[in-house]
A and B are shown apart, each in its own frame.
Chain A
């Protein structure tokens, strides 16, 4: 049930015929090459990669620090701050999109990938803090206390004890953040105005409207877009699935 549409896509991607008819005896790689060239896939792929890596890096840093402050350091007021951050999980993107567009547009780097970067980082704070806080709370308090009695600074405790213990959670967070940033279409379509800086999802979107009847090309394009994430998924399946399931449950 689930597999069939996916197989159809793959089949059409390899089909030499425009209508995407599948003919197992005649597999054709040229579609991928054509798409790569025409949609300047390489360039947009780089844009997406750069964006996603930066988003993941920045998000991981700031959310783990923030979660540490809330969960371990018990900064005053952290309970309320956490509630506010949690509320963000409930706010749908559509509600903040319009003003966000106007605010970001006024910035000097408007219309480019940097606006998208900032937007994604901000949007990922809620889940990131929530996720890492849960991971940190699971660390036995005794470990942390003994570290501070030993005279370790908060940062040292963070680096030497907390981080290594929560590496799996970090990896999962990184993967999920990468996934959501890579797959985004809505945010990019509104914020990016410079056609050179379109992420790959948008480039394919434009491509799809132009070649609406060349199913084989479009399928090849779709496969290319999905490939990086699917590859990650294949290697890290368990983490992905666990991440989404447990994250949803804990929320």
Chain B
């Protein structure tokens, strides 16, 4: 039974500069357990950088990132994944020359331990592990509806399925937090609808979801909580409705010229938000 309001991932005053450019500026965010949290903002706001900071590709200059209470900073990407955070990539990084099944199998690598000798000798433990791994991969593929493509090479997949494969692969790592970087990018209306259903299904199965997205239909449709970034800083956060109406957000996206400064630091705790 998940506890609403418990914080799974906490970013606190996280900053990152590249040369003279402040990509992320004292960023705070709490991702609540069991929620779908979205991070939105104009292009170049620093959203993917936040993802890369969480997953260990970059190291923050300041601040802390705590996952399930433990500090993530300093961990390498594969350690972050092993700790329970899985991700997809904005530009899609599939293992192109391997089959879909092999792609999804990769997720199980960090959950298994057969070594060189046991693999050569095919010990009973190794055989058991192989069966479990294949079973799990099959489950993940069926969850996203890709089981029929299992023997197809990833490079031959049509675009809409490529995204789904990446999600299946991420799910195969048995994560507690799934980070999706613009999962709806390039999808048509129907595919977007299917994706929304899929993400909600993932959330309902107990995995917390954190996503970057530009498609407002997706963000408003499935998010429990939305955080808005611009120029590396958080400029607003709240439920989808709150954020939609926030003048700061409108200004950031549409650039309305306004002398009055409406913006203030939005730093509420996401307590007991309604799950629609």
- Decide if A and B are genuine partners: no
Chain A positions within 8 Å of B, measured between CB atoms, are none
Chain B positions within 8 Å of A, measured between CB atoms, are none
